[in-house]
């Protein structure tokens, strides 16, 4: 069992000893891992830290504004970097899930590398946790924030990496976040993958497809908010299906809804969501997103499925 206070004290000491007089940037996406990391490093080195929110164009509705507000409320100096074009360019033409993750990872580190150079920073802090490392090292999937553990030297991007949470699992990160006094909207936040909506648009990622998925995601999250589940989201399929819109036969998009219960994401159970909620989600998605003709619900547990589709 983690002794949270000891962990925080030890981390603060280690961060201070490593960073010394240097400046640090912290990649903050607004998720529990990266926000806790950012707050911890800020507590350790104060004004030497600049939080960086990279807008990759793949975030959920309202997310960039949410993160800017959270950082402002925490009184952490922050920079907002618009890298939408770079991410869409890197993802263009890529259909393989692992290729997409690697393109995302490369663009992510290059973007941070540019900021590190501009800010003359030697360290980048990031919210990598134990499960990210294990899944990447075992070859289950390439997490966007794992480099050194698979033999990639971060110095190629021009900096060293600080990962104060790398020995923790998600429930322990939440304990640290609570102990640090982060708002519950952060400490209890639903996990969201680093490569964001890019791994929920199956096949090639384009701005149009992301816009469809962003809207569907908003509907699913809104309708399932009170279920107390681990993760609730939508997935846009790469293939199409026949449907009827405005009295005409159309060949349109398919959305799958996934709602899972889990402790630590290592195993997960598909939730028995009340049918009325599923029906309402389907009606809203097909009414509010013109191109979608079909809405499915995924009843598969992990294993044999994974939580995400890619």
Least Å distance between CB 145 and ligand XMP? 6
265: its two tokens: 């994401």
Instruction: Report the residue from 48, 100, 141, 200 that binds ligand XMP according to the rule CB under 6 A.
Output: 141
Q: Which of residues 47-86 bind ligand XMP (CB under 6 A)?
A: none
Instruction: Report the residue from 30, 64, 193, 252 that binds ligand XMP according to the rule CB under 6 A.
Output: 193
Instruction: Report the residue from 64, 164, 194, 252 that binds ligand XMP according to the rule CB under 6 A.
Output: 194
The backbone torsions φ and ψ at residue 193, rounded to the nearest 5 degrees and listed phi first, read -65, 145
Strand order in the sheet with 160-162: 78-82, 49-55, 24-27, 123-125, 160-162
Q: Residues 272, 280, 283, 309: is their CA dihedral positive or negative? A: negative
Which among 1-9, 188-196, 212-220, 284-292 is the span making contact with ligand XMP, rule CB under 6 A? 188-196
CA-wise closest residue to 199 among 42, 48, 94: 94
Tokens 């199956």 locate to: 202
Residue nearest to ligand XMP (CB): 194
Q: Which residues pair with 302 in a beta bridge?
A: 268
Least Å distance between CB 303 and ligand XMP? 9
- Site string (4-43) toward ligand XMP, x via CB under 6 A: ----------------------------------------
**Cβ proximity to ligand XMP, 19 vs 97, nearer residue:** 97
Contacts of 234 (CB under 8 A, 6+ apart): 200, 213, 216, 217, 219, 220, 255, 256, 257, 258, 285
Least Å distance between CB 227 and ligand XMP? 16
Measured in whole angstroms, the distance separating CA 114 from the mean position of its chain's CA atoms is 21
Which positions lie near ligand XMP, rule CB under 6 A? 101, 132, 135, 141, 143-144, 191, 193-195, 231, 265, 302, 306-308
């Amino acid at each position: 069992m983690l002794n949270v206070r000891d962990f925080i004290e030890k981390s603060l000491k280690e961060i201070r000893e490593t960073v010394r007089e240097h400046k640090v940037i912290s990649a903050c996406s607004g998720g529990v891992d990266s926000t806790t990391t950012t707050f911890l490093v800020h507590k350790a080195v104060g004004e030497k830290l600049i939080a960086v929110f990279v807008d990759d164009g793949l975030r959920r509705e309202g997310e960039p504004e949410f993160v800017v507000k959270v950082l402002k409320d925490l009184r952490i100096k922050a920079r907002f970097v618009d890298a939408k074009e770079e991410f869409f360019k890197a993802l263009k033409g890529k259909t393989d899930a692992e290729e997409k993750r690697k393109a995302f990872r490369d663009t992510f580190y290059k973007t941070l590398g540019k900021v590190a150079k501009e800010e003359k920073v030697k360290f980048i802090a990031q919210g990598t946790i134990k499960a990210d490392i294990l899944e990447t090292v075992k070859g289950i999937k390439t997490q966007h924030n794992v480099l050194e553990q698979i033999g990639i030297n971060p110095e190629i991007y021009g900096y060293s990496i600080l990962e104060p949470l790398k020995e923790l699992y998600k429930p322990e990160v939440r304990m640290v976040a609570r102990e640090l006094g982060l708002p519950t909207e952060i400490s209890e936040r639903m996990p969201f993958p680093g490569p964001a909506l890019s791994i929920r648009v199956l096949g090639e990622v384009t701005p149009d497809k992301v816009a469809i998925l962003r809207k569907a995601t908003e509907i699913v999250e809104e309708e399932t908010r009170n279920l107390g589940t681990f993760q609730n989201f939508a997935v846009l399929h790469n293939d199409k299906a026949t449907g009827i819109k405005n009295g005409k036969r159309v060949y349109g998009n398919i959305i799958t809804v996934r709602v899972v219960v889990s402790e630590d994401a290592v195993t997960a159970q598909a939730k028995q969501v009340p049918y009325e909620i599923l029906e309402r989600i389907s009606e809203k998605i097909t009414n509010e997103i013109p191109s979608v003709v079909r809405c499915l619900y995924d009843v598969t547990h992990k294993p044999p499925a994974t939580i995400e589709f890619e």
